[in-house]
Structure 1
Amino acid sequence: MLQVILLLLPGVVSVEWRVNYSSPICAARGSNVTTDCTFTYPRKQRVQQVRWCSMKSNHDQKCMNGPYVYDSEANNNQNNFQYIGDKTSNCSLLISNINQTHSGEYKFKFITNDNEGRWTGDPGVEISVHDLKVYMSRSRENGSTVVGDSLNLTCTLDCPGKLTEVQWFKNGDPIQQSEPVLTFSRVTAKDSGNYSCSLRNFKTTVSEEFTIYIEADVTRTPAVLIIVVSLVSLAFITAAVMLIRRRKKRTQRKPMEEREEAQDPLYNTLQKTADKNVPKAKDVQQEDEVEYSFVSIKPKKWLQVSANTVQENDSTIYSAVMNG
């Protein structure tokens, strides 16, 4: 039986040049994306330069020539791309505020101090960028949304998997809801508005607004409300009719009084005579003052003399009676 024995001699090690990328990345516009990346090379060599390139602008498929989205030896790298790895094993790249123009395939290339030490990871990592969107599902399939309907608003992204935490907005203001599905069991007129969503803590990923307009459902209006409205309308109509009748009576009464006065000349003559003979308040006051002017008041001394005289006369009369 033939046996094959593989001997690994010390110092003779097979080393493979390699770049390992993360799985394809699906991102929301406005978010930050990290491409996890690792690389290996012969231990005796030392990495001197690292590069990232986009296959949209680099057509040789090996990043042999620029442009590069990142080059450790350049000073004009794009602001959106930041190398967060090192020159030993980590080749991760951070893309900030990503948008649809950043979609595509990216590759990592590194250069060592060896003349033949150049390697590009192939295939690269695929990145796709999409907008967040808001979709509505409701209990009524057709027609407009009316008061009392139930509906759901769902924040979605055209990527595999489901969103975990989001931030909801109504008319641009944040609301306390982190679930991807916003549920309305019974909508009211206050629920009308413009709704949008974004990734949690990433307002730059906010979606386009989705408008909800809630209409009043006449068929669901309570009968009591209809009765109240009818009674109020009847009260206004009754008040208006009564006011019109009162004004009409006043208008008819005034000409009648004027005609009665014009048809009674005797009443007018007597009225004028009475007004002429009745003295005015000023004249009466003057006559009273004239009569009062003839009253005279005697001096106190004269009054005393008169009193004595009366007393003496009484004594004389009394003495005459006694003597008789």
Structure 2
Amino acid sequence: MKMNPWTLSVLLLLAGPLGADPGWQVEYPDSFCVVEGSTATIPCSFTHPAGQRVERVVWCPNHEICHLTTPNVYNSSNVRADSRFQYLGDLVRNCTLKIIKTVKQDAATYHFRFEANGDKYTKKKGVGVTVTDGEDVKVRSSVTDNVVKEGGQVTLTCTSACSFHRLDVHWYRNGHALSETGPALHLSCLTNNNTGNYTCSLDSSGRKTSAPWSLVVVEDEGRHKCDSDRSVTVSVVSVLLAVILLLLAGLVFAKRSAPGPEHEIVYSEVVR
């Protein structure tokens, strides 16, 4: 069967270089869920035969070949500083893509393409990205009761329809942002200062937050406050160390200033 050169070229592009040589690979999840307004990171890695030098990488939506004229969200030869799509990878192994402040229109099937020494490879199966409205974001707690005694601990988890793999999660207490980030918030050695309404959000602006989860920390008469115990312990240890150091310094100084045998003054009695 005779095949014209154009058809053969297209088939080779779809299959990858060298007839889908196993040395050319791209790995990323089959699907990825993102909450609208949030920032998500799609993990990706690629490999190629030894001796190849990658010259260009591209991410594009809804295209199996992702060639030069295909609309793309990232192109290493034409970087757009204002793009919401940030390439966190390199030209060696990492092809991770970050999507900032996702919108509904970002839902697509994304493909990664890399070019090396004149060869090129695009994984035929892309990663399908879905975008949800995020209205089902909730806070779940490791304890059943909202009232916890001083010195106790609780773990709050932010959940939604999307898996939280590589998603940015922001936490708030009484509407004020906390420094902790991530899907789980660990609160240990609780004091009254931890009392408040906790919310989480996948939107860094804090506009789309979960319903509040109220935490009340009550005094436990039979237990000392963790912070007080720690501060007292640190203070006592510091004082003891200071006293020991002063004693050692005094002994060393006294030993050095005491006259030795060669400096002893001999008094002789004068006989008249």
Aligning the two structures, in what range does the TM-score lie when normalised by the shorter sequence?
0.3 to 0.5
Larger helix proportion, structure 1 or 2?
A: 1
What's the TM-score once normalised by structure 2's chain length?
0.47
Question: Whose RCO is larger (CA < 8 A, sep 6+)?
Answer: 2
Larger strand proportion, structure 1 or 2?
A: 2
What's the TM-score once normalised by structure 1's chain length?
0.40
